[in-house]
């Protein structure tokens, strides 16, 4: 059994433990939640289920060759730098939201991350950067009735 299969089994075990023990005992959910998606345990359940499914795929998928594994190991330092930069952007976003709301920083973060990952088509960058935060904000405010920080756009939901 290759290392990736051991890792897959560990991921399945962690996901199963989360689904069977941690979520039911660690998340208190009221009985009168109007919609399943608004229940406190809904998103942790979805994430743990996907995590478990990925572990199953890791377990049954064919393993990489030794050469592929060496190539992946050589890329780790470069990936750590990129991951650190990504986390720095997310922390910056977290600290800016109370002042500017979620819309303006989300537009900047989506634009920057799309550019960082290699997208260079300006029209697509602008459309995605503008539409995703605006549509999500409108959904949360007017469909799901969930207030979110709007910052300078507070007048919309006033």
Domain count, the chain: 2
Does residue 156 share a domain with residue 80? yes
Cα separation of 51 and 15, whole Å?
6
Across residues 128-144, what is the average pLDDT? 89
Domain housing 100: 75-158
Residues 53 and 103 in one domain: no
Query: Is the domain of 12 the same as that of 37?
Result: yes
12 and 32, same domain (yes or no): yes
Provide the percentage of residues in the chain whose pLDDT is more than 90: 30
Among 39, 66, 93, the domain boundary falls at 66
Q: Which two tokens stand for residue 32?
A: 């009168």
Confidence of residue 58 (pLDDT cuts 50, 70, 90): confident
Alpha-carbon distance 47 to 56, whole Å?
14
Q: Are residues 48 and 100 in the same domain?
A: no
Band of residue 69 on the pLDDT scale cut at 50, 70, 90: low
Contact 148, 103 (CB under 8 A): no
Same domain (yes/no): 10, 45: yes
Residues 7 and 83 in one domain: no
Closest among 41, 49, 1, 43 to 23, alpha carbons compared: 41
Per-residue pLDDT tens digits for 84-134:
988 999 999 999 988 898 899 999 999 998 988 888 999 999 999 999 999
Assess contact for 7 and 29: CB atoms under 8 A: no
Q: Of 11, 35, 66, which one is at a domain's C-terminal end?
A: 66
Q: What is the pLDDT of residue 79?
A: 80
- On whether both 42 and 94 belong to a single domain, the answer is no
In this structure, the answer to whether residues 61 and 84 fall within a common structural domain is no
């Amino acid at each position: 059994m290759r290392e990736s299969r051991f890792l897959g089994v560990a991921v399945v075990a962690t996901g199963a433990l989360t689904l069977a023990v941690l979520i039911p005992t660690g998340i208190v959910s009221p009985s009168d939640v109007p919609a399943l998606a608004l229940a406190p345990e809904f998103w942790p359940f979805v994430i743990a289920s996907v995590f478990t499914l990925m572990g199953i795929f890791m377990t049954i998928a064919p393993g990489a060759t030794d050469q592929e594994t060496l190539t992946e190991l050589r890329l780790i330092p470069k990936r750590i730098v990129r991951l650190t930069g990504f986390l720095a952007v997310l922390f910056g976003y977290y600290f800016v939201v109370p002042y500017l709301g979620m819309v303006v920083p989300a537009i900047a973060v989506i634009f920057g991350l799309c550019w960082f990952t290699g997208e260079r088509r300006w029209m697509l960058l602008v459309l995605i950067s503008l539409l995703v935060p605006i549509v999500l904000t409108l959904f949360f405010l007017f469909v799901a009735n969930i207030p979110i920080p709007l910052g300078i756009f507070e007048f919309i939901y006033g």
